[in-house]
Amino acid sequence: MFDERDASEGSRAPRDGRMTGFPPSEDTRVSLATWQDPENVRWAFRHLREIIPSQVIPADPATTRALPSAADPEALRAEVQRLDGSRATAADVFADTWTDALLVVHDGTLVHEQYYAGLAPTMPHLVMSVSKSIVGCVAGILADRGLLDPDRPVTHYVPEVAGSGYGDASVRDVLDMRTGVAFRETYDDQDAEVRVMERSMGWQPLDEGDPDGMYEYLTTLGTSGEHGGRFTYRSADTDMLGWICERAADRRMADLVSQLLWVPMGAEHDAEVTCDRVGTAIHDGGISATARDLARFGRLLLDDGAAGGREIVPASWLDDALQPSEDVREAFAVTDNESVLPGGWYRNQFWFVPTQNGTALVCLGIHGQMIYVNRATRMVGVKLSSWPTAQNAPYLIDTLRAFGAIGTRLASGSDVQACA
């Protein structure tokens, strides 16, 4: 039922125009040093395995779960008040925000599927920090099986970081990004730790003296505050969590995601995750997957962690995140995030955003990656994007409002017509 439109119909850019020619002409080449440049993002997010070594996250055709489809042509006509005060349809919002793929699932049925600028249902797309939520679910499954204790110190699993900023942190601190580790997530500052870490994890060329490998880099981080205090978004915390999971389960992350999530939930296609020069998966943002499989993941979160009558992610893990203690909410409220997502919180590697119709569980990645899950309206939204810049508050807020408006419209009982 998908609608694949040319870029001239709203994707804000021509077909990528990168890596063209045999060999590619110099002015269209994309390299390790340039793949995050604005003009290269759209091509790179679909072809990252051609730039950075990647590990396969296998699906199993024998367990693939169908996504029932019934198109609702009215869904994207939902009206949205944008951050700038203007009004538009949800379709307008998605057309104006560099969308690559858009899926809407209502009560288990795929009601809208659209691709832009040459992306197709079988093509994986980088999801950036949506990866964090996937790793968080792996941690929840391991905790439920008794292999991981969130109350244990990080050093119980990874003693190598005893002398670093993680030395006195707990696994819970890492899960909720409330460590006191010195790490700046300032994407436009090339000296910020998030950009320095990219060199060690193989996302940029290594400079002389850089730690060779992400785990080695984590051991070098210092301390900027107390553990268990305010929420501070740190990608390094997820990489620390991934290291903990691998040690707890004695398996690499690509295999954990495949065996604990991808196969049980019924993924249709293999996913992949980039790895550093020593073979470590980039837990904080390295996963690429198809939009349909991300919709399946969102549906899993919608349905209390279950698929096909089987619990995959513990319902208690999701409930704990959806109904946290007041301390979790307060840790978020005292930060700059409160002005962007008022009333929100962060728990177990998920964002939570109050809406007019219940609380939305949101998986977010820079450059416009999003899975939106609202149990009150029984809706899942998936948006894959190629924003030229890492962050854009109007794009983010308008997208959240668009998905919220779609959910309200669908929940109100709009007619749904079956697809041919």
Question: Which two structure tokens, joined as six digits, stand for 245?
Answer: 């999971």
> Residues 90, 414: contact at Cβ < 8 Å?
no
From 54, 129, 164, 170, active-site residue: 129
Distance CA 279, CA 262 (A): 21
Question: Which two structure tokens, joined as six digits, stand for 279?
Answer: 């073979």
Query: Which positions ≥6 away from 343 have C-beta within 8 Å?
Result: 353, 354
The dihedral sign for the CA sequence 333, 337, 343, 345: negative
Distance CA 221, CA 181 (A): 7
CA distances from 242 to 41, 192, 228, 247, 400 (A): 26, 21, 19, 9, 28
Q: DSSP class of residue 153?
A: B
Instruction: Please say if 129 is a catalytic residue.
Output: yes
Question: Which two structure tokens, joined as six digits, stand for 181?
Answer: 């580790």
Q: Considering only CA atoms, which of 341, 367, 364 is closest in space to residue 354?
A: 341
Question: Which two structure tokens, joined as six digits, stand for 1?
Answer: 């039922």
293: left (phi over 0), alpha (psi -120 to 50) or beta: alpha
Question: Which two structure tokens, joined as six digits, stand for 42?
Answer: 């759209």
Residue whose tokens read 């002398």: 163
Distance CA 335, CA 342 (A): 10
> Residues 180, 266: contact at Cβ < 8 Å?
no
> Residues 214, 239: contact at Cβ < 8 Å?
yes
Three-state secondary structure call for residue 382: strand
Q: Considering only CA atoms, which of 161, 236, 254 is closest in space to residue 198?
A: 236
In degrees and rounded to multiples of 5, residue 347 shows phi and psi of -155, 135
* Residues recognised as catalytic: 129
